[in-house]
Amino acid sequence: MAEDRKAYMIKGDNLGEVRIADEVVAIIAGLAATEVEGVSSMAGNITKELVSKLGMKNLSKGIKVEVQGNVVRADVALNICFGYAIPEVSAKVQERVKSAIENMTGLEVSSVNIRIAGVNTEKHK
């Protein structure tokens, strides 16, 4: 339920406040990570894998975010395409995720931790 999700105030003034759900931050991170060349897909746990197979799209798959105050820490689990250099792809994902979260939310990103969960050996077009 939407009421059960954590939400963080990013702006408050006499016109009202703006709150952002932690899942929104995770979705931003996931979308940014998949834009990087060499990233095959996001990796998730077995529950998230079953949910995606049932046709329910989970855009925050493979992402865990922790927000304390206005500072975000993101953990990103992904599958990489075979033949790409893991250090280079990981660095690009870290930069892209940090930039996307900071630009879209105004929150500060303290760290983006990458976990390579698998390698996809299928040919991509």
Question: Residue 1 — pLDDT band, cuts 50, 70, 90?
Answer: very low
Angstrom distance (rounded) from CA 71 to CA 59: 22
pLDDT in tens, 27-76: 999 999 999 999 998 887 544 455 555 444 567 888 999 988 889 999 99
Percentage, residues of the chain above pLDDT 70: 81
Rounded CA gap, 48 and 105, in Å? Answer: 25
The pLDDT-based confidence of 105 (bands split at 50, 70, 90) is: very high
Asked whether the beta carbons of 76 and 33 are under 8 A apart, the reply is yes
Specify the pLDDT at position 124: 54
* pLDDT on residue 47: 47
